[in-house]
Structure 1
Amino acid sequence: MKLFTWLYDRMILAAAHRRAPWYLGAVSVAESSFFPIPPDVMLMPMVLARPQQAWRLATLTTVCSVLGGVLGYALGYFAVESVLPLIERAGYGAGWHQVQTLYLEWGIWIVFLAGFSPIPYKLFTIASGFMALPLIPFILASLVGRGGRFFLEAILVSRLGPRMQDSVRRSMEWIGWGLVATAILFYLIV
């Protein structure tokens, strides 16, 4: 059995499920504050399954991600002492200290960059609250950063995805195991 091809097929089937948008919204909220899996792994197959709903799905992901970001902000603002042990146990301790340094240097711009990039956004939402970053600029930077990322993904997948779906499926084992090898290599280097 081909592991990654099987997972890919399951994700495409799940993406077409009638409750999939609810799951996408929940994952988007959770990922921005405490959950380790990004919503992209649901957004892309869902857009592939429903390309005509790309804008709606990107909007849902963005709004829910920003709401989760506000939850992360609140955790950082009100409960950072309780959250720090969880951050350490999750293996983000060194990243947490780097984030604090970045805030001192970049301010609100770091929220925008973190929202758009694949680095763990939750560290920046919690750090924003801990550093008492003004809430409105935090929300605006999150909307622009997260929205830019999710809308770009949705547009690319809705336009290019259907044409590439067969070749991606045929290459899924190579892609999957390549990502595993890259993650292991990255872990060993860092």
Structure 2
Amino acid sequence: MRIFQWMYDKALLWAKHRHAERYLAGLSFTESVIFPIPPDVMLAPMALARPAMAWRFAWITTLFSLFGGICGYFLGLWLFEPVVLPAVEYLGKQETFAKVQQWFTDYGVWVVFIAGFSPIPYKLFTVGAGLMGMAFVPFVIASFVGRASRFFLVAGLMYWGGEKMQQKLRDIVDALGWGTVALGAVLYLVYS
């Protein structure tokens, strides 16, 4: 069954849509505050479909992710108890958020940089930075450097990989997709 290859082809087609940049900006912003899907899932196909625009897409992703991170910071700073805390409790993520707070105590601004670059949910650290009263300018600098490093790396890999990478990914995307589904199922069984 080649469902992932079909989805991959559709993603490349949608990446050329006239509003694709707006969707990328919206996804980048919301992912930094509340949304669970990282913008890399749009950035990569857009950079593959239009390599000449890869660096522009990386800038859009970085800047709107940073704006979302700033919004998350102020949510944590001003609206933690009335807005964020009930959501954390509803989702049962009190332990996770307590761990994030401990990481801020232990590592300071470095945790923002690491969360900005890595697949760790960045949104937890934007809200956490505001809640912990982290200095705003170091937060913005660490967020910018971490996010820019990540998104320019993704765009660069797609740009330099070009058409060869596009075809290679198309050839293996079903194996990657089904492997991810299987891994998710195994992790669910192990942790439930």
TM range (shorter): over 0.9
Structure 2 length-normalised TM = 0.93
Matches within 5 A, 1:22-171: 22-81=22-81, 82-90=83-91, 92-171=93-172
SS in 1 for 2:119: coil
CA distance, structure 2, for counterparts of residue 187 and residue 96 of structure 1: 21
Q: How many equivalent residue pairs?
A: 190
Q: CA 1:173/1:91 → structure 2, altered by over 3 Å: closer, same or farther? A: farther
Structure 2 CA distance for aligned equivalents of residues 51 and 5 of structure 1: 20
1:113 CA drift (Å): 0.4
Residue deviations 1:46-70, cap 9 Å, x none? 0001101111110110000000000
Q: CA deviation at 1:92?
A: 3.8
Work out the percentage of aligned pairs sharing the same amino acid: 49
1:84 counterpart SS class: helix
Rounded Cα–Cα distance in structure 1 between residues aligned with 2:187 and 2:94: 17
SS of equivalent residue, structure 1 residue 171:
helix
The residue that corresponds to 1:6 in the other structure is 6
**Cα distance, 1:96 vs structure 2:** 1.1
CA RMSD of aligned residues (A): 1.5
2: CA distance between counterparts of 1:105 and 1:139?
19
Do the aligned partners of 2:59 and 2:148 also contact (CA within 8 Å) in 1? yes
**TM-score normalized with structure 1 length:** 0.94
Amino acid at match of 1:183: G
CA distance in 1 between partners of 2:10 and 2:91 (Å): 28
Deviation at 1:24, TM superposition (A): 0.1
- Partners in 2 of 1:90 and 1:15 — Cα distance? 32
Local SS of the residue matching 1:95: helix
Native 8 Å contact 2:15 2:46 kept in 1: yes
The alpha-carbon deviation at position 25 of structure 1 amounts to 0.3
Q: Secondary structure at the match of 1:119?
A: coil
What is the identity, as a one-letter code, of the residue corresponding to 1:84? L
Q: Distance in 1 between matches of 2:162 and 2:91?
A: 34
Deviations 1:99-150 (A, max 9, x none): 1110000000100000000010000000000001011110000000000000
**Runs (5+) with no aligned partner, structure 1:** none
For residue 34 of structure 1, give the secondary structure of its aligned residue in structure 2. coil
Q: Does the 8 Å CA contact 2:158/2:165 hold for their aligned counterparts?
A: no
